[in-house]
Amino acid sequence: MEIPIIFKIILLDGTSQRLTLPYFPQSIDELYSHVKSQCAIQCPFKLQFMDTLFGNDFLNLTCITEIENRCTLRIVCLESTSEGGLSESDQDSVSRSPLLHQSPEAAHSSPVSPMSCVPWPAIFHIPSFSYDTDLKLQQADLAFTKNGTLLTDIDPKMKSDILSGLLQEVLKYGVYISGKQREQVVRSLIEKHPCLRERGSDCGFSAWKTSLKDKLSNYRCLLRKIGCPEVTVNSLKHKPEGCRKAALGVKKPKRAEVNFLPDYPVAETQTSLQAIQESLLMDVQIRNNRENIKLKMEKTFALRRQEIIGDMPLVADFKARWPALFDIAEINAEFRRITTVPLQSKFLSQLDLYSEELLKIFQKKGGQVGKKLESVLEGIADCEVDAGRERVLKALCVYMGEEPGDLLQEFEVCMTTPMITMRIPDRRTLFISMGRDRPLIPLLQSLESVPLAFVMLFGLIYALNLSYPQKLSKTFEFFQKVLMEMDVNSSSPKILSLKNRLLK
């Protein structure tokens, strides 16, 4: 396989992603075409490049020879600005913010937005506390630095103030956090204020971790009374008969979902959103109606998530209600709403980035697995880009000790074919069946390539809140935590080992 050309692209919202091309573009127009396609840019734009000759300032790109492999480009929207100083694209970005439908008072007073848009940070920031608490901590940290004295007589008011401050910071990311995330919070607290370290504890923060867990639990009880949907969905009256215990069947983010169960926009009700959903059934039958569908799908996102999470409908029934979702562009959009991460562009660019190292790792594998890998990868050097990607993905399944045939299989289209899991046929149609002797459901058709089908299947798992196929759990964990870089801190040993080898 040829070594891919990689650019770092700074998007309109300030985030960045990789742009991977099979060869260096021959002209600026060709580069613009790739950027527009992979980064899903809708508005007119220009590109700027980071010029090392002028202190890494960004200058307008006027000639393709001004850039080279692995350089940084920035997208600048060319749409005219409004009276308020925001371009139309900026206004669109603002309109999608979690505080769009809140009143100004609610935006400042609500402790947690109805749709948080911040993924869990790599480094947790410890906020400032009340003035008196910060002053006491400053003095105690100074004493610890001088003679190692720990602050053992923390009064209840001070401890409550610290936990409340941590709680408000945690709520920026969600109302449910994992044990590892709680540990990250209190570890950061101890690192910033070493005087709070606990004597007699191996880690130094066991009691703090328990106290934070209790604080979050009590706060969720308060949110449940208020009616926060992400919490009320787990109330006992909403659980089925066999799971009416607090710890059973908890519906919460488990794969780095940022907007897991948002509330309805302010001024919208279930009835008004249902009316929009019904109009969407007519809109999908109209040609060249993409923009109208896009706006309505954006607005009804909360209704869709509450149906998926709360009602857990059959896939066939959900597709009948939301046919607009089963489209490549809309799956990309839905995945980004849920995770804030671009789907197709990041998945494929990351796969291309790691392909060379993956091939080296695969070639070093011995035994029966090594022979299977050799068979899968035979002739890959002469493959086109998509064919090469397909072989790398198949080889990844083999390397993980899983069968590519459980994911990718060619078969005649027969609606009664028994299948146990989700599979992608070579005929470029994505089907799904949730059990043996259950009919196949065609989800997407006319897919350009098998790698694109892999991407769309991964996106649909998030959009439909499905579990990873049991027989392919390691492969999908690699997709999530290595390619998409989501929830990387909870990787299994096998995934962590492979990732470390890739990054050597």
pLDDT tens profile 66-91: 888 888 999 988 754 333 333 443 34
Please state which of the ranges 161-175, 210-224, 412-426 shows the lowest mean pLDDT: 412-426
Same domain, 364 and 496: yes
Please state which of the ranges 107-111, 155-159, 268-272 shows the lowest mean pLDDT: 107-111
Q: Look at residue 297 and tell me if it is in a domain.
A: yes
- How far is residue 474 from each of residues 287, 326, 347, 402, measured CA to CA in Å? 40, 26, 16, 8
Nearby residues of 39 by Cβ (< 8 Å), 6 or more positions away:
9, 11, 17, 19, 75, 342, 345
The pair of structure tokens assigned to 70 is: 């692995």
Region 162-170 average pLDDT: 93
**Using CA atoms, how far apart are residues 462 and 464, in angstroms rounded to an integer?**
6
Report the 10 Å Cβ neighbour count for 499.
16
Q: Look at residue 166 and tell me if it is in a domain.
A: yes
**Using CA atoms, how far apart are residues 189 and 166, in angstroms rounded to an integer?**
9
> Tell me: the pLDDT tens digits for 449-464?
888 888 999 999 999 9
High-pLDDT (> 70) share of the chain, %: 82
Q: Look at residue 330 and tell me if it is in a domain.
A: no
> Tell me: the pLDDT tens digits for 16-35?
888 888 788 888 888 988 88
pLDDT for residue 96 is more than 60: no
CATH code (residue 64): 3.10.20.90
Q: How far apart are the first and last CA of the chain?
A: 21
Region 164-185 average pLDDT: 90
Q: Look at residue 283 and tell me if it is in a domain.
A: yes
pLDDT for residue 105 is more than 50: no
pLDDT for residue 2 is more than 90: no
**Using CA atoms, how far apart are residues 111 and 329, in angstroms rounded to an integer?**
33
Task: For residue 11, give its domain range.
Answer: 5-79
Highest mean pLDDT among 1-15, 45-59, 277-291, 414-428: 277-291
Q: Look at residue 496 and tell me if it is in a domain.
A: yes
pLDDT given at position 359: 94
Region 463-478 average pLDDT: 91
Q: Which residue has the higher pLDDT, 445 or 465?
A: 465
Q: Look at residue 87 and tell me if it is in a domain.
A: no
Alpha-helix residue ranges (DSSP H) falling in 284-366: 290-299, 301-306, 315-321, 328-339, 344-364
Band of the pLDDT at 298, cuts 50, 70, 90? very high
Same domain, 180 and 320: no
Same domain, 10 and 63: yes
pLDDT given at position 312: 87
Residue whose entry in the numeric block shows the structure tokens 């929009």: 276
Q: Which residue has the higher pLDDT, 408 or 359?
A: 359
> Tell me: the pLDDT tens digits for 307-351?
999 888 888 889 999 999 999 999 999 999 999 889 999 999 999
> Tell me: the pLDDT tens digits for 252-279?
888 889 888 888 888 889 999 999 999 9
Question: How many domains, the chain?
Answer: 4
Nearby residues of 196 by Cβ (< 8 Å), 6 or more positions away:
137, 140, 150, 151, 154, 162, 189, 190, 205, 208
The pair of structure tokens assigned to 397 is: 């399944």
Same domain, 204 and 312: no
Same domain, 199 and 292: no
The pair of structure tokens assigned to 25 is: 């573009």
Q: DSSP per residue over 162-206, as a string? A: HHHHHHHHHTTT-S---HHHHHHHHHHHHHH-GGGPPTT-SSS-H
Region 431-439 average pLDDT: 52
pLDDT for residue 212 is more than 70: yes
Contact between 456 and 447 under an 8 Å Cβ cutoff? The reply is yes
Strands 5-10 and 16-21: antiparallel
* Angle of CA points 462, 465, 471, to nearest 5°: 85
Q: Look at residue 384 and tell me if it is in a domain.
A: yes
Q: Which residue has the higher pLDDT, 164 or 443?
A: 164
Q: Which of residues 227, 243, 259 is at a domain's end? A: 243
Band of the pLDDT at 164, cuts 50, 70, 90? very high
Q: Look at residue 92 and tell me if it is in a domain.
A: no
Band of the pLDDT at 117, cuts 50, 70, 90? low
pLDDT given at position 239: 65
pTM over 0.85: no
Rg of the chain taking only CA atoms, in angstroms: 25
Same domain, 236 and 278: no
